[in-house]
Structure 1
Amino acid sequence: MLPYQVTWDLHTHLTRQLRGKTPAEKAAHLIEVGSRHGIERFCCYMGVEWNTNPDPENLRKQNDDILEAVEAHPDRMMGFVYLNPKHQAESLDELKRCVRDGPMVGVKLWVSHRCSEPELDPIVELAMEFGVPIFQHTWIKTTGNLPGESTPDDVARLAIRHPEAKLICGHTGGNWEAAIPAIRDFSNISVGIGGFDPTAGVTEMAVRELGAERVLFGSDAPGRAFASQLAKVTGADISASQKALILGENLKRLLEPVMLGKGLTQ
């Protein structure tokens, strides 16, 4: 058990590495392993079988997987609705179904469409209306990104258009030394430090450049080990109070408005 009062994981999935035939069973395995590492709550998104450019039917299926997991484990699992801006109208419908009318507490965007494009605007505006954060996968690949794959610069451009939106730069762009300066001046962007190699110095740089309040722990489990991703924080040369913010207090604060509105306990 970690010596911190709150440890919430921003970034988990239900992929095939987990035991179980159903989303609820896979979530139970995720919770079992995460609990051994002191994780209390798990934000989870995308379904058991992923699609980089999902059509509306596939989007609904993937979100149904997460709804099943959340409904089976309401005190541990928190869902983010997976959307595809290429199917704008259907994505807005999914946002209403899963967040306004359902238990989900955030939005997940992956690699179908760069987040700097104007097709994102209606999605961001509705997410703001519902008071939920948007987790945007980002990467800076030396071999070149996928056509619809966003970079931290894309998130920064989105923040310029929507300075009140709660944006999360997922994976800290992979290349965190380039990503952190790209989003530094936009106070509505937090960084998720999960889902890339546990290189020494990433958390220290994020705290120094952004402030501990904008840094969020996430694992990207089961694709990444809880232990290696936690080590980015627990092994960092920062204060105990800063570690506590990153490991859970920041995420709890970010989600508090929507959770209170839904009557969800923290």
Structure 2
Amino acid sequence: MRARTATDQGTAATDPTPYRVWDLHCHLSGVEGRTPSERMARLIAFADRMGIERILVFMGFPWATDPAADDLRRQNDQVLEALTHWNDRALGLAYVSPAHVETSLDEINRCVRDGPMVGIKLWVARRCSDPAIDPIISLTHELNALTFQHTWLKAGGNLPGESSPEDLVTLSRRFPDTPLVCGHTGGDWERGIRMVRDHPKIFIDLAGSDPTAGFVEMAVRELGADRVLYGSDAGGRSFASQLAKVLGAELAEEDRRAIFGGNLRRLLRPILAAKGLHP
């Protein structure tokens, strides 16, 4: 049995910031532990240390850039196991892929409609501009669930099937009323921000890159603070380095609070209400 901490009462053990921080972007990979439950306990311990109230977790381990249908189910099972004892501190996104549409629809129904998860995670098997993804987005929208799409702009070229922010813009044109999260803001965040700027239903994720000065300020200036979401990409990145992006930015306090969690809670409010939860 694990030792009980302040997290068992739903509050962080330490509170180094005055903000309600919800971390949009966490993984079980990159964290020590033999099982999903052990890795989740480590993530929560790190979150406690940094005063993070709640984390969103998606994808299991090991990863594959083009997972088989059975692998999607296996990784979602790992996340479901990780969430079991931490429903007061963590939420999950179902890992799905337009390369396996029927399996993905089944997983959305199993994990989101009938389970505890609150959205979907799309990675790199097929670009999100491909219309094959449309049934997945339609069902996710119908459930008021969150759609999170990994995006990148690699200098040497993206992986086969890896989406860019421009691909997400193409998807948004087909689903103009559906909120979409641009994971990593494309990595090359200056270009990514400009690519999504004119598409008000696309939100950006700050996670994963170095805490470079000017990133958050540009995002707020170009998109408005209400389209900017804090995430870390833990355990691939540290909570501390990613918190620093927002803590060190020159922002109005109202905007900092929105980025650290207010915006994410607003996006999740419909599905949390449907599940009897309150942000």
TM-score, normalisation: structure 2: 0.93
- CA deviations over 1:56-90 (Å, ceiling 9, x no partner): 11100000001111122111110000001011111
Q: 1:205, 1:244 → 2: CA distance?
A: 17
Q: 3-state DSSP class of the match of 1:85?
A: coil
Q: Show the 5 A alignment for 1:62-77.
A: 62-77=75-90
Structure 2's unaligned 5+ residue stretches are 1-14
- Kindly indicate whether the alpha-carbon contact (under 8 Å) linking 1:7 and 1:38 is maintained by their aligned counterparts in 2: yes
Provide the residue aligned with 2:62 in structure 1: 49
- Given that 1:204 and 1:236 are in contact with CA atoms closer than 8 Å, whether structure 2 keeps it comes out as yes
Matching residue of 2:103 = 90
Gapped runs of 5+ residues in structure 1? none
Match of residue 10 from structure 1: 24
**How far does residue 21 in structure 1 lie from its aligned partner after superposition?**
1.6
Whether contact under 8 Å (2:193, 2:219) holds in the other structure is yes
Partner of 1:219: 232
Q: CA deviation at 1:133?
A: 1.3
User: Are 2:270 and 1:257 equivalent residues in the alignment?
Assistant: yes
CA distance in 2, matches of 1:259, 1:53: 30
Percent identical residues = 53
Q: What secondary structure does 1:222 align onto? A: coil
Aligned to 2:10: none
Q: Deviations over 1:181-221 (max 9, x none)?
A: 10011111100000111111000000000000000000000
Specify the SS of the correspondent of 1:40: strand
Indicate whether 1:131 and 2:144 are aligned: yes
Q: Is the 8 A contact 2:21 2:52 kept in 1?
A: yes
How far residue 164 of structure 1 moved from its aligned partner, in angstroms, is: 1.1
Matched residue SS, 1:163: coil
**Correspondence for 2:219:** 206
2-structure distance, mates of 1:104, 1:47: 14
Q: CA deviation at 1:130?
A: 0.4
Tell me the amino acid that sits aligned with residue 11 of structure 1. H
Equivalent position of 2:38 in the other structure: 25
Aligned residue pairs: how many?
265
Q: Do 2:118 and 2:268's aligned partners in 1 also have CA atoms closer than 8 Å?
A: yes
Q: 1:159·1:186 contact (CA, 8 Å) conserved in 2? A: yes
5 Å-filtered alignment, 1:114-129, equals 114-129=127-142
**Deviation string, structure 1 residues 122-170 (Cα, Å, up to 9, x no partner):** 1000000000111100000000001100000001111000011110000
Asked if 1:78 is matched to 2:97, the reply is no
Stretches of 4+ aligned residues off by more than 6 angstroms: none
- In 1, the alpha carbon distance for the partners of 2:128 and 2:82 equals 27
Q: Are 1:244 and 2:218 an aligned pair?
A: no
Matched, 1:234 2:247: yes
Deviations 1:34-60 (A, max 9, x none): 111111111010002111111111100
Deviation at 1:3, TM superposition (A): 3.3
Q: Distance in 2 between matches of 1:4 and 1:258?
A: 26
Task: Give the partner amino acid of 2:268.
Answer: L
- Letter in structure 2 aligned against 1:157: T
C-alpha separation in 1, matches of 2:276 and 2:219:
33
Q: Is the 8 A contact 1:4 1:244 kept in 2?
A: no
TM-score (norm 1): 0.98
Q: CA deviation at 1:4?
A: 3.1
CA distance in 2, matches of 1:79, 1:44: 5
In the TM superposition, residue 18 of structure 1 has moved relative to its aligned partner by: 2.0
- Equivalence for 1:193: 206
* Paired letter, 1:248: G
1:205 partner amino acid:
M
- The answer to whether the 8 Å contact 2:181/2:203 transfers is yes
